[in-house]
Amino acid sequence: MVKIIYPTPEKIIEYNLLVLNLIKVKKADSPKVLSRNKITEAIEECKKIKGDIYNKAACLMESLVQKHPFASGNRRTAFIVTKDFLISNKAKFNIKDDPKYARVMVGVRVLCLISPLFSLLLGQIAYF
């Protein structure tokens, strides 16, 4: 059985700071942790979910967005954390570097979108 490498809360917090410095969206963006427990919960949900690395990646991405552990940049952070998670586990990150593909992230906060996220991560979904 292959050992899966999971992100740590510290690494996820570090990525939040990084994305807020590199990808500016709002002047008020603030690298503030609202709930470290929610970050830990997202990691634990990822560990518990059945399925392959892409199922786990979709779960991690969705959990980080829906739990909203940061004051700003939750979707950006979730995207980067998920990319790192897949690459760290020698899986292919199939999302093209095109802003059109970011639209799938818009509804993640309120909807259960693991299936579309799973398809997006596998490179099987066109932009919306």
Q: pLDDT by residue (tens digit) across 55-76?
A: 999 899 989 999 999 999 998 8
The pLDDT-based confidence of 23 (bands split at 50, 70, 90) is confident
Q: What is the DSSP string of 35-75?
A: -HHHHHHHHHHHHH--S-HHHHHHHHHHHHHHH--BSS-HH
At 16, list the tokens: 């939040």
Supply the pLDDT for residue 30: 85
Count of helices and strands (H, E) across the chain: 5, 0
pLDDT digits (tens, 9 = 90+) for 105-125: 555 554 555 455 555 555 554
Angle subtended at Cα 107 by Cα 11 and Cα 45, rounded to the nearest 5 degrees: 40
State the CB neighbour count (10 A cutoff) for residue 106: 12
Q: Is residue 127 part of a domain?
A: no
Q: Is residue 3 part of a domain?
A: no
Q: Is residue 27 part of a domain?
A: no
State which residues form the domain around 74: 9-21+32-122
Phi, psi of 33 (to 5 degrees): -85, 120
pTM confidence score:
0.78
Q: What is the CATH number of the domain that holds 51?
A: 1.20.120.1870
Q: Which residues pair with 70 in a beta bridge?
A: 33
Q: Is residue 2 part of a domain?
A: no
Q: How far is CA 118 from CA 22, 36, 56, in A?
A: 26, 25, 9
Contact 53, 59 (CB under 8 A): no
Q: How many domains does the chain have?
A: 1
